[in-house]
Amino acid sequence: MASRSGYVTRLNPVECVLKAQAVIVAEPSVVGLTTDSLVLVRKLKTNTFHTVVRVKLKPATEGTSIALTAGMDRIVFVFGCIFLGAFAAISVAFLLAYLRVFQSFQFSDEDRRNWLFLSLPLISAVLGVALAQLGRYQARDEAPFLTQLLVGALDAKATGRQARPSEVMGRRGLVSAARAAGPAKEAEGYDIDAAVGHDLDVV
C-alpha cells in the first residue's frame, strides 16, 4: 500500500518544479520526471518492485500545497494484479476440472493423480506474491530517502503535526522556570502554557 503525507512550502509551484529538477540532476542515485504540477522520483539502481515517490503540487494562499505519495510503481502493481488474477482463475478452473463439475471439462484419472501439475498454478501465484514481498523488503529504505530528498529540496513542512510528549514536557519546564523568576516573566509563562494546551499545526 502507498503511504500518503501532506506538506506545505512557501515556494510557488514553478519554483518547486525547478528545485525538484535541480535535486534530481544533483543526486546521481535517483532519476525522475517533472511537469507543471507533478514530480516523480525513484532510485536509479533498484529492483522491479522499487518505490516511486509522487509529488502533486497545488497552489495555496501562502505558497504551495504538496501531496506526497510513496509506493510501488503503478505499472508493476497493475501487472502483478493481472498475474495473480490469471493464475487464480487457472487454479479455479483446475479445481473444477478435478472435481468433474462439467462434463466437457474434466481431467482424466491419470491427470488427477499428478499433484505437481494440478498445483502448478497455485504454486506460481504463491511464488509471485513471495517475490513481490521480497522486492518490497529490499526497497524498504527507498521511501524515506526519496521523501527526505524532496522535502529538503522544496523546504516543505508537514501539515497537521501535533506536539510530541517530550516537547510538551520541555515547555512545561520552561513555564515553571519563568514563573519562578518573578512577576516580570508571568506573561511569557502564560503564552507558553497556552501553547501547551493546544495541538500545534505546522503551516
Asked if 9 and 155 count as a contact pair (C-beta separation under 8 A), the reply is: yes
Q: Give the residues of the chain that fall short of pLDDT 50.
A: 161-203
Mean pLDDT over each residue of the chain, to the nearest integer: 80
| pLDDT for the residue numbered 159 | 87
Residue with cell 530528498: 149
* Pairing of β 38-43 and β 63-72: unpaired
Cell numbers for 19, please give them: 528545485
| pLDDT for the residue numbered 1 | 58
The pTM of this model reads: 0.68
pLDDT per position as a tens digit, 21-78? 999 999 999 999 999 999 999 999 899 999 999 999 999 988 999 999 999 999 999 9
Kindly report the number of other CB atoms within 10 A of residue 137's CB atom: 10
Q: What is the distance between the alpha carbons of residues 129 and 107, in angstroms, rounded to a whole number?
A: 28
Q: What is the distance between the alpha carbons of residues 43 and 192, in angstroms, rounded to a whole number?
A: 43
DSSP letters of 165-185?
HHHHHHHHHHHHHHHHH-GGG
Nearest to 140 by CA among 51, 12, 44: 51
Nearest to 49 by CA among 169, 153, 152, 130: 130
| pLDDT for the residue numbered 172 | 39
Query: Coil, strand, or helix at residue 127?
Result: helix
Asked if 63 and 10 count as a contact pair (C-beta separation under 8 A), the reply is: yes
Query: Coil, strand, or helix at residue 74?
Result: helix
